[in-house]
Amino acid sequence: MKMTSLKVSTPEGSSGRVLTSAEDFIFRYDEDALPNMAISLTMPVRPEEFRRRDLHPIFQMNLPEGYVLESFAGTTVGARR
């Protein structure tokens, strides 16, 4: 199973990684993450991963919109290449 990952950092340093699988989005804190490196009040630092079918809300609110989002997804209609 192929998983894609994205490094997540806060001003305090590297916090963890967002991983995607065929079915879920997973956020996993780094083993050395400290409580002040939490990415959200609803996602405190812990050893267990956070798993959801949809992208976690803290990451959804930081997604680009419109044309930029479409170009990241590779679905922009009429884009020049």
Give 25's contacts (C-beta < 8 A, 6+ positions apart). Answer: 18, 19, 51, 52, 53, 54, 55, 56, 59
Mean pLDDT of the chain: 83
Domain coordinates in residue numbering, the chain: 4-73
Report pLDDT for 81. Answer: 39
Distant-in-sequence contacts of 7-15, Cβ < 8 A, 24+ apart: 8/39, 10/37, 10/38, 10/39, 12/36, 12/37, 13/37, 15/39, 15/45
Residue 74's pLDDT band, with cuts at 50, 70 and 90, is: low
Average confidence (pLDDT) over 22-34: 93
E strand or H helix at 70, and its extent?
helix 66-73
Mean pLDDT, residues 41-68 taken together:
88
